[in-house]
Amino acid sequence: MTEIRVEQFPNGLVVLLEPVPGVRSAAVTIRVPAGYAVDASAEDGAAAMLSELVLRGAGDRDSRAFSDALDRLGVQRGSDVHAHHIELSATCVGPALPSALELLADAVRRPHIGDDAVDAVRSLCLQELEGLDDDPQGRVMLHLRARHRPPPFDRHGLGRAEALEHLDGPALRALWPRRAAAHGSIIAIAGAFEMERTRDTLQERFREWGGVGADPAPTGPPARGAIAVPHESAQVHLALAWDAPRERDPDAMLERVAVSILGGASSGRLFTRARVERGLCYSIGASYSGGRDEGIVTAYAGTTPERAQETLDVILAEARRLREGVTQEEFESAIIRLKSRVVMAGESVPARAGRLASDWFRLGRPRTLAEVASAIDAVTFEAVNDFCARRRFGRLSLATMGPVTLDAAAIDRIDEDHPAGLAV
């Protein structure tokens, strides 16, 4: 059984190292506290641009030389934007890891953020925003986020066009060193690597890094309730959200099982009741995400204007029906699905590195695959039914896109027999 080495450098940087037997590659996840929730309103889009720019030239290498250096090492890389962090990810063969880490350290600590690159990245970000016109499902989920989450977490990682158009090189170059701080950053590595050599490389490259990263907090209450976005189409896209346990809460795994039964697969209740039995929609499902400070369940359905109201009614009815309990067969199927995901995640070193960083942020500690599997095994049929019986939803949010407006009064009545709201 592998063990995870955890070390916090004097500057506050957290390093998580997990050797994985039987693999030949290594994966790195670097989380820097510069996510979109840190953006001021006039800067909404800075995180999106910076996530692209830090991999376009760094240290002594311009954009082409930096890219070529990574390519020579066979490094597959990418970036993503979260509410709290910008995440850089890289995968390479194990022997190339020390050299890859030197390049990634330059990207984090000494990115060029050149004016030519800024113009190109701005165009890419604006194109991605414009692409939402052709992605109504993506758009309705963004409207749902804006409705359900408190500011500044009601934003998304794409930014606003007005802000993107005004962000320039000098502004972005000034923002990065203020946000990219050692304290609040996480580096997670999983796969084939030499433990001591990797640790020494990280210490050498990052020990002079300083600063304390921002940790944004809600600045007001969420809007909640319903929003209808007019959209001329033969389809209606509807999305619901309700409160759920945080990842560190004891009920988090019970929620995960319950939501898997509700809408996590083609055998889930939503798929069966809405699509198989009634033919109401072409796509439907639900998922749970446990965060550090809050949890959320989201449900989505794509349907037609004539069937949209009934589809919404079925989703709400099935969510409430969970309180009546689940069957033994549903419980066993959900456990198998969750265990399968754990096994598949263990076969991917990028997934392992990402999970280590995510666990540290959400839980304050990393978890081995064995620990996660044991937590799933510890869930009992009786515990899930007890949780479902006391489950509360809080104030729901609903976002719809299409040529009709739905009667959304039912979302405020889902807890009418339990007026106290969410109890977790």
Is the domain of 232 the same as that of 150?
Answer: no
The confidence score (pLDDT) of residue 423 equals 32
Q: How many domains does the chain have?
A: 2
Q: Is residue 102 part of a domain?
A: yes
170 with 292, same domain? no
* Co-location of 175 and 282 in the same domain: no
Q: Is the same domain home to 201 and 229?
A: no
**133 neighbors 233 (Cβ within 8 angstroms):** no
- In this prediction, residue 337 carries a pLDDT of 93
Among 145, 178, 206, residue at a domain's last position: 206
At 397, phi and psi to the nearest 5?
-125, 145
Beta bridge partners of 286: 299
Q: Are residues 139 and 254 in the same domain?
A: no
The reported pLDDT for the residue numbered 408 is 86
Per the structure block, which two tokens stand in for 348? 């991917």
Q: Which domain holds residue 274?
A: 225-412
174 and 274 housed in the same domain: no
Residue ranges for the chain with pLDDT beneath 50: 418-424
Q: Are residues 284 and 368 in the same domain?
A: yes
* SS3 state at 283: strand
* Residues 105, 10 within the same domain: yes
Does 30 reside within a domain?
A: yes
Question: Tell me, what's the pLDDT at 417?
Answer: 52
Residues 6+ apart with CB under 8 A from 266: none
For residue 133, how many C-alpha atoms fall within 13 Å in the half-sphere facing its CB?
5
Distance CA 332, CA 327 (A): 9
Q: Judge if 361 and 302 occupy the same domain.
A: yes
pTM: 0.93
- Distance CA(155)–CA(415), nearest Å, equals 27
Spell out the residues 6+ positions from residue 348 whose beta carbon is closer than 8 angstroms to its own: none
| Residue 36 within any structural domain of the chain | yes
Nearest Cα neighbor of 295 from 388, 380, 394 is 394
Q: Could you give the strand order of the β-sheet that contains 5-8, starting from the edge strand earlier in sequence?
A: 5-8, 14-19, 186-191, 25-32, 86-93, 76-81
Specify the pLDDT at position 214: 94
Under 8 Å between Cβ of 70 and 56? no
Residue-level pLDDT at 420:
36
Gap between the Cα atoms of 173 and 185, Å rounded: 19
Q: Say if residues 107 and 185 touch (Cβ distance below 8 Å).
A: no
CB 254 within 8 A of CB 247: no
Question: Backbone phi, then psi, for 16, in 5-degree steps?
Answer: -125, 125
Q: Is residue 423 part of a domain?
A: no
CATH number of the structural domain spanning residue 154: 3.30.830.10
- Give the residue among 313, 310, 290, 288 at the shortest CA–CA distance from 299: 288
Within a domain: residue 214?
Answer: no
Chain segment 127-175, per-residue pLDDT in tens: 999 999 899 999 999 999 999 999 999 998 899 999 999 999 999 999 9
